[in-house]
Amino acid sequence: ETGVTQTPRHLVMGMTNKKSLKCEQHLGHNAMYWYKQSAKKPLELMFVYNFKEQTENNSVPSRFSPECPNSSHLFLHLHTLQPEDSALYLCASSQDPGTGELFFGEGSRLTVL
């Protein structure tokens, strides 16, 4: 138990569906992240939030829409995804954006049909 909880753990969706991934951290951290992990590829940074404000968007397609209502919650809204978006989506938090000491959730395994 890392103090970062992600739901759902598994999600299957069609290309026309809209779904959301949720992340909650109980560590009192100020920064939250979304990473994408695909087979045979490095962890890809998607978004960074600091005190609810987005500080990084790593050229992510607009079909991925993040939302950070407070420093404990982070969402990733998904719509009109492609099969190549199938991956493990990992949420992480850190005390501050520049620390590098990330605490990861267990991930949400997404399959796009």
Partner 1 sequence: QKEVEQNSGPLSVPEGAIASLNCTYSDRGSQSFFWYRQYSGKSPELIMSIYSNGDKEDGRFTAQLNKASQYVSLLIRDSQPSDSATYLCAVILYSSASKIIFGSGTRLSIRP
Binding-site ranges for partner 1 (CB under 8 A): 2, 31, 33, 35, 40-43, 45, 48, 50, 55-56, 58, 90, 97-98, 100-107
Stated as kind and residue range, the H or E segment containing 24 is strand 18-25
The per-residue b/e assignment along 5-34, b for 16 or more CB within 10 angstroms, e otherwise, is ebeeeebebeeeeebebbbbbeeebbbbbb
Is 14 or 96 the residue whose CB approaches partner 1 more closely? 96
Q: In the Cβ-directed half-sphere of 30, how many Cα atoms lie within 13 Å?
A: 10
Q: How far is the CB of 75 from partner 1 (least distance, A)?
A: 18
Is 5 or 80 the residue whose CB approaches partner 1 more closely? 5
Q: How far is the CB of 4 from partner 1 (least distance, A)?
A: 9
